[in-house]
Amino acid sequence: MLKRKRKKSDLAKAAGITGVWLSKVLSGHTPSWKTAKALALETESNPTRWADSDIAYMTRVVDRYLYGFEGDEDKKSHHANHPLEADHESYPHQQ
């Protein structure tokens, strides 16, 4: 059995939202673009998929966040080389 490394409350706090709002987002409520970007940055995922409320995708991403990123022990930061930092123009919902 995998041991959880983080909690959903850790993700909510890192994204600047409440745990209640994170639960709503994970249930299909559409987040703002700002929230989608923050969740994507923290989870190393695609903000467009968060903004589109892709529940299956978000569930996989959150599970990966909770139970660990592949190769975490080799990374200095799980934000390194994140697509948001490299190419802000590639996501159409950005304001």
Domains and CATH numbers, the chain: 1-68 (1.10.260)
36 contacts 42 by C-beta, under 8 angstroms: no
pLDDT tens digit sequence for 35-75:
999 999 999 999 999 999 999 999 999 999 999 866 554 44
Helices (H), the chain: 8-15, 19-26, 33-43, 47-51, 55-67, 83-86
Encoded tokens for 16: 């600047």
pLDDT of residue 7: 92
Assess whether pLDDT exceeds 60 at residue 80. Answer: no
pLDDT tens digit sequence for 5-29:
899 999 999 999 999 999 999 999 9
Structure confidence at residue 76 as a pLDDT band (50, 70, 90): very low
Stated length of the chain: 95
Assess whether pLDDT exceeds 70 at residue 87. Answer: no
Encoded tokens for 1: 């059995």
